[in-house]
Amino acid sequence: MQIASPTSNSIEKAYEAGQEDFIFFVIFGRGNRPGARLVEMTNPLLVSPVVGSMSIKGRRRTMEDKVVIRQKLCSPEINRRRHVDFYAIYDGHGGHHVSALCSQRMHVVVEEELMRVRNNTYMSGSSSSSSSSGGNGSQQEWEAAWKRMLRMCFLRMDRMSSYTCDCGSLGYPCGCPPAYTLRLTGSTAVVAILTQESIIVANCGDSRAVLSRAGRAVPLSCDHKPDKLSERARIEAYGGKVIFAGVPRVGGVLAKYVHVRSHDMKK
């Protein structure tokens, strides 16, 4: 298994085009394709894959993106008490505050939800039934358990960012004066959780997860961009407006709508 990375040519083109920043990571696993990087594992259930990451700051003065790698994050019931690996990229906009908070807290929230008693009670049944039976019902229950857990993680992270000051303090009683500029601060998030058999991906915004299968790119996430008919319809249903100024932007400001925080865009 290998999650594809952009070629050096694509990186150079992105930089020349003035892209503000660029970040990606590559995960190498076992494989027999010619040219593939192999990882020798004495016990593949206990050893995490080899991982590399790279980030390029564009023409801006600061880098607003964050990459997080947490191998052997925890050993939840949904994975039959075997470890899971956590990988994430957060693309900040309007500042680095929310992407930095996500990089510090999202994996903690994911671990908490995976190990929560009420989740484990349900997940243990889903994981055992999905492993012992090939039926669609058990697979659907397993997928539903992951979706419910990850949805809760993203909602918790969104609420947490709404009560986080520029100084990093959670909640309002930190004594800092209110800063209007932070109202437009936000971040995309793409999270990949690796088990011994599966890749579970959740995202908001336009940061992408891509799988390379025999040299062919397979998308694992769906961009949330206002030029998509379904996304535009959703934005307008909530009273938003898409303005075309070179690229489609929500309210003439954001080229993506679904992300963590950004108070003004959620009104």
Backbone angles phi, psi at 225, to 5 degrees: -125, 145
Q: Tokens 């890749």 — which residue?
A: 199
In DSSP terms, 213 is beta-bridged to 216
Helices then strands, counting H and E runs in the chain, come out as 6, 12
- Cβ proximity of 122 and 217 under 8 Å: no
Q: How much is the pLDDT for 30? A: 41
Instruction: Of 9-13, 21-25, 115-119, 196-200, give the lowest mean pLDDT range.
Output: 9-13
- Residue 226 predicted with pLDDT over 50: yes
Return the higher-pLDDT residue of 244 and 135.
244
Q: How far apart are CA 261 and CA 73, in angstroms?
A: 25
Q: How much is the pLDDT for 27? A: 60
Q: How much is the pLDDT for 73? A: 96
10 Å Cβ neighbour count for 205?
Answer: 25
Sign of the Cα pseudo-torsion (250, 253, 254, 260, in order): negative
Q: What does the pLDDT look like over 132-171, one tens digit per residue?
A: 444 455 888 888 889 999 999 999 988 887 766 655 555 4
Q: What are the structural domains, with CATH classification, of the chain?
A: 8-223 (3.60.40)
- Cβ proximity of 141 and 126 under 8 Å: yes
Q: How far apart are CA 172 and CA 80, in angstroms?
A: 40
Instruction: Of 24-38, 81-95, 100-114, 191-205, give the lowest mean pLDDT range.
Output: 24-38
Return the higher-pLDDT residue of 83 and 120.
83
Return the higher-pLDDT residue of 214 and 119.
214
- Cβ proximity of 188 and 206 under 8 Å: yes
Helices marked H in the chain: 8-16, 97-115, 117-132, 136-162, 229-237, 263-266
10 Å Cβ neighbour count for 32?
Answer: 6
10 Å Cβ neighbour count for 147?
Answer: 12
- Cβ proximity of 124 and 78 under 8 Å: yes
What is the share, in percent, of the chain residues with pLDDT greater than 90? 21
The band of 85, judged by pLDDT with boundaries at 50, 70 and 90, is very high
The band of 39, judged by pLDDT with boundaries at 50, 70 and 90, is very low
10 Å Cβ neighbour count for 250?
Answer: 22
- Cβ proximity of 107 and 86 under 8 Å: yes
Q: How much is the pLDDT for 124? A: 56
The band of 186, judged by pLDDT with boundaries at 50, 70 and 90, is confident
Output b/e per residue, 47-60; b: 16+ Cβ within 10 A: ebbebeeeeeeeee
10 Å Cβ neighbour count for 235?
Answer: 21
SS3 string of 204-238? ECCCCCEEEECCEEEECCCCCCCCCHHHHHHHHHC
Q: How does the average pLDDT of the chain come out, rounded?
A: 70
Q: How far apart are CA 239 and CA 163, in angstroms?
A: 24
In angstroms, how far is CA 267 from the centroid of its own chain?
Answer: 23
- Residue 176 predicted with pLDDT over 60: no
